[in-house]
Structures are given as structure tokens and as C-alpha cells.
Amino acid sequence: MVASDIDGTILGHDGKISDRTVRAFHACREAGVELVFVTGRPPRWLHPLQDQLGHTGTVICSNGAVVWDLEAEKLVSARTLTLDAVLEVRRVIKRLRPAALFAAETLGGFHLEPGFIENGSSELLSEFTPAPLAETLVTDDAVVKFLAIVREGTADDFLAEVAPAVEHLASATHSSPGVSMLELALPGVNKAVTLSEYAAALGIGAEDVVAFGDMPNDIEMLRWAGHGYAMASGHPEAIRAAGQQAPHFDDDGVAQVLESRLASLGVQIS
């Protein structure tokens, strides 16, 4: 099995997956290798996989909180935070960082506070109208990912301060380079937990999984996989966590590793 993160691992800031990487994934599929993508993205942002890779399989979304059937466009499973937990996490973080702003990814949509998007510059979030979370979230909303952002300091420092304070309520990580934004989920939920369950259901053990990632939200997955590769262009913590390193994203690092591993099986990519 090949399990790959998306952003910063195979997808660039331009929203493109390189032709070389596309060929490598197609070769894996033709060789009978199971492909699964494991991302912090929600299901509505998976179009690069469909449009550029023609992927129709399972995608593990929202850092492991959601399993999505891409072909059927259907939810397979979800692990969600309660509204009470979300609001308590918000209160705790506000005590630590009064300037923090928040957003919530639910199974039904996205809710963000005014100011969460600086200057309204995010094209992906432009369709959503900012409003106080207490006004837009309701008891029945199933929150799969809660986001907290600050405009000062680093994401690493923000995580180090917040994670211990909320660990009884939520797990915390981060994945956005250059942005001090935390991603919070149900305690114990991460990419590795859901990937291991998915692989086990297919009769695949960790020793037969090749995983790629680049950021702290990939750490558990890279440690769990028998062959975990952090991108050379990735976060230092991800690189330390992985057993091996893939070349830089700009050098099609994932494709290089896949080509090499397929060649060792006698599979050549045309």
C-alpha cells in the first residue's frame, strides 16, 4: 500500500500535481498497489485527486477524522467533536491567546469567525460568510476539525502552548507552513489511527505500507508505516519522525521514491 499526504507532498501551491508524480501513481495502481490518500483537507477539497490523478478510491480526510469514498462521493465514517468540547477548547485557547480566532469544519459545512481569514484572501473559503461560532454552530453539528489561528509567533510555539492545555478535550497538530494555525480533533484521532484501521481491513500490515508526508500532522503516520518517507522540503519534526527521507518536493521526491521501489520489483515506468 502507498499512503500519501497531499499538500506539500504531491500538490504544490499552484494546485498542480506534476506529470512525473501522476505517472508514478498510475504505475503503482497498474502494478496492483493499493493507493490511499491521507490528508488534512475536507472532502470538498479533493478535486485535484479526481481531476489530475483520476483517483476514485478511499481518501482519509481531516487528519483521520473522516473516511470518504471518492467514487460514490459518500461518507464512510467520521469521528467528531461535540459542540460542548469545541466551545470549551475555544475558551481554553482564548485564555492562553486572547487574540486567537477560530473556525470549525463540520460534516455539513464550514463555519469561521470574522477575521479568521486575513483580508478575505482565501479563495477556497470565499464562499463562507464569517459569523460568531456561537451563532452558527448548533448542538447537532458534527465537528471533525476545529481550527485556531493567531497572527504572531510560530505554529510550533502555538502548538507547544496549547496542546497540553486541551489534551483532555482534543488532539492538536498543525500543517500550514508559515501560518500559526492549529488543527484540533477528537482526542486520539490522527492520520495513523485511521490509516492503520483501513489497512487492516484490507489485510495489509504496517510493514507493507509506504507513506509520504511533510508536516507535523503526518508524524504519527510516518512513524507507523513500515516505510515512512518525509519530504526533504518538510518540517524538521516530520523529517525526524520518518525512518527515511524523500527528495525535495520540487524534485518530485515522491515520484523518485516510487520509481525506485517499483524498479526493484521489475516495474518500469514509461
pTM: 0.94
pLDDT reported for residue 124: 58
Q: What is the pLDDT along the chain (270 residues), one digit of tens a residue?
A: 999 999 999 999 899 999 999 999 999 999 999 999 999 999 999 999 999 999 989 999 999 999 999 999 999 999 999 999 999 999 999 999 999 999 999 998 899 999 898 755 455 566 678 888 888 888 888 999 999 999 999 999 999 999 999 999 999 999 999 899 999 999 999 999 999 999 999 999 999 999 999 999 999 999 999 999 999 999 999 999 998 999 999 999 999 999 999 998 888 776
Q: Which residue has the cell 455539513?
A: 108
Task: Supply the pLDDT for residue 134.
Answer: 81
Q: What is the 3-state secondary structure (H, E, C) of the chain?
A: CEEECCECCCECCCCCCCHHHHHHHHHHHHCCCCEEEECCCCHHHCHHHHHHHCCCCEEEEHHHCEEEECCCCEEEEECCECHHHHHHHHHHHHHHCCCCEEEEEECCCEEECCCCCHHHCCCCCCCCCCCCHHHHCCCCCCEEEEEEEECCCCHHHHHHHHHHHHCCCCEEECCCCCCEEEEEECCCCCHHHHHHHHHHHCCCCHHHCEEEECCHHHHHHHHHCCEEEEECCCCHHHHHHCCEEECCHHHCHHHHHHHHHHHHCCCCCC
- The pLDDT assigned to 270 comes to 66
| pLDDT value for 108 | 86
Q: At what angle do helices 253-264 and 19-30 cross, to 10 degrees?
A: 30
How far is residue 97's CA from residue 109's CA, in Å, rounded to a whole number?
A: 26
pLDDT at res. 51: 95
Task: Give the separation between CA 127 and CA 130, rounded to whole angstroms.
Answer: 10
